[in-house]
Amino acid sequence: MRHRGPATFCYLFVALIGVQIIAAQTNTPSSPPDALAAVRPCIEERLPHATTVEIDRLIAEGRLLGSGLVEPDTPPRLRLAPLFRDSVRQDIVSLDPTFAVEVLFLVPAPELARHVDVELVTVLQSISTMEGIEYYSESRGRMRTLFHESHLIRDPEQPARLPDPTATALPDGETLYAYQRDSSFGRNVLELTYVATVEGVRLRMRNLTRMLYRGVLPAVGPESLEIDLVVVPVQGHVLFYGVAAARAAPLFGLEDRVERSFTNRLEALYRWFLDRVS
């Protein structure tokens, strides 16, 4: 049975996630109707568990959301992954999460995102480029630095800064380690795992260290938070999928706020990726 923490932990968890927010409105390039009509069969093939209404919304608006509390002893559904669905779901289920949120974007593909190659993988491994990016803090009502530091390290025991790599082949389970210092969680070490095929790339991120709110108060335990990103080029467009899941305390009516916080965190990563490939 899943252990539930006190209400104060829940409020702390919501607060530390909530301040890491990029504005929810995402401005993305649009495609002419003919181009979207041509790509629809490929989208439907990539999203066999999405409804017709959801496909219509994705094509019309360029984004889909899916989220909710995970009931005890019930694995999350995770219907929107366009590739690697089984492995993503298996890894998320292993967290025994209490909450999960999915986002899916469809946009015309910039040149670097039209095909899966070593250049695209290199973009997703450029962890140092997250350093200094800004996010919109709803709690403060203004833009704020998200990551004060972000870079690769050799392993969790050797924190010396390493340069971003240049991929020379498509990875099949390559593992890297990252150190990040952000404005809410403080200093943390993450495990990054990359898998790529000719169809798409997956980046799996999981925390290895206890995440502290404002560097003092325990908030998320080791290996209790995971974010997965999947990039799939489709006929001149690109599907960008993200899922975030966490093992958290009871939410006591704050589900909507946590959902927005997770969604905005994924949108921030989407904006980062789109900026790197544009």
Is 2 a member of any domain? no
Residue whose C-alpha is closest to residue 32's, from 267, 231, 236 = 236
**Residue 179: both structure tokens together:** 């150190």
| Residue 158 CB contacts under 8 Å (≥ 6 apart), including other chains | none
Is 24 a member of any domain? yes
Residue 6 has pLDDT above 70, yes or no: no
Is 207 a member of any domain? yes
Is 84 a member of any domain? yes
Count structural domains, the chain: 1
Is 33 a member of any domain? yes
- pTM of the entire structure? 0.85
Is 1 a member of any domain? no
Domain span at residue 101? 7-277
pLDDT tens for each residue of 221-261: 889 899 999 999 999 999 999 999 888 655 556 566 667 77
Is 194 a member of any domain? yes
Residue 259 CA to residue 115 CA, distance in Å, equals 32
- What pLDDT does 218 receive? 62
Q: What is the mean pLDDT of residues 205-231?
A: 83
CATH of the domain at 23: 3.30.530.20
Residue whose C-alpha is closest to residue 224's, from 243, 203, 209 = 209
